[in-house]
Amino acid sequence: MNGLRKLAVVTGGSSGIGREISLTLARHGWDVALTWFHQGDAPDEVAGQIRRLGRRALASRCDAGVKAEVDSFFDAVAEHFGTVPDLLVNNAGVQTWAPLLDLEEAAWDTVMRTNLKGCFLNTQKLARMLVAAGKPGAIVNIGSGCSKVPFPNLVDYSTSKAAIDQFTRVAAIELGRHGIRVNCVAPGAIEIERTKRESPDYAGIWAAVTPLGRVGRAEDVANAVLFFAEAGSAFVTGQTLWVDGGAFTVPNWPYRTGR
Nearest partner of 211 among 239, 184, 188, 227, judged by Cα = 188
255 among known catalytic residues = no
- Which of 37, 74, 120, 157 is catalytic? The answer is 157
Angstrom distance (rounded) from CA 94 to CA 107:
10
The helix, strand and coil proportions of the chain, stated in percent and rounded to the nearest 5, come to: 45, 15, 35
CB atoms under 10 Å from CB of 208, counted, come to: 12
Angstrom distance (rounded) from CA 157 to CA 108:
8
Angstrom distance (rounded) from CA 75 to CA 227:
27
Tell me the HSE value of 239 on the side-chain side, using a 13 A CA sphere.
15
Residue 231 gets which letter from DSSP? G
Cβ atoms 186, 143 nearer than 8 A: yes
3-state secondary structure of 204: helix
Q: Which residues are catalytic?
A: 157
